[in-house]
Chain A
Amino acid sequence: GNSVTQMEGPVTLSEEAFLTINCTYTATGYPSLFWYVQYPGEGLQLLLKATKADDKGSNKGFEATYRKETTSFHLEKGSVQVSDSAVYFCALSDAVQGAQKLVFGQGTRLTINP
């Protein structure tokens, strides 16, 4: 079945550093791809998405490009802040019976030190 593999964490960076969190996927067809962020004790917030190959999703300084040739959707940010500390999940959309479900990676915990 369809699956998502994320860069293992935890990742610790200093404020203003460049961030990359790797995400690759296995899928039949061309699913939509998502990054969600989870702050401590909270649910998931949609960070960005891309629905077709070569699309770039962006939000709050984060970017990710849907790469069909490498089946990847890596998350990047040029200058991280302490407030970016959270767990980041890469996900793809998948059909199951008549529903559209999300398939998530295992998550990458990011800690930004001042």
Chain B
Amino acid sequence: ETGVTQSPTHLIKTRGQQVTLRCSSQSGHNTVSWYQQALGQGPQFIFQYYREEENGRGNFPPRFSGLQFPNYSSELNVNALELDDSALYLCASSFARGGISDTQYFGPGTRLTVL
């Protein structure tokens, strides 16, 4: 069974740039959630994708957007990067039936640094 994978591992960008992070879900899972973890903090929910649509969003601005593909993999896009976007971005996959998702399993994360 393949676990959740994320790429790239690390990324350095400058303020105002755009970034795309990628996630492959665990086999058998159909739902992907994205979290932002600032240094020394717990992860914060960004949004969740199910059936290729965003079905729930946390308190993040529209410049955070995403996609889910037919193979259930996902992308997180962040436009107009700000210094405060520097964080570990975690992807989690789960299996959902009727919109109710089971336990979430996390990938290793992408460390984004904005200079």
Contact = CB atoms under 8 A, between A and B. Distances in A.
A43 B107 CA distance: 6
Contacts of A104: 42-44
B109 A107 contact: no
Nearest to B90: A43
Interface string B57-83: 110000000000000000000000000
Given A98-B55, A99-B48, A101-B58, A42 B33 contact: no
Chain A interface extent, by class: 20 to 34
B109 A101 contact: no
Interface string A16-37: 0000000000000000101010
Given A36-B106, A43-B108, A45-B106, A97 B56 contact: yes
Interface of A: 4, 32, 34, 36, 42-46, 49, 89, 91, 95-107
Interface of B: 4, 6, 33, 35, 40-45, 47-48, 50, 55-58, 88, 90, 92, 94, 96, 99-101, 103-109
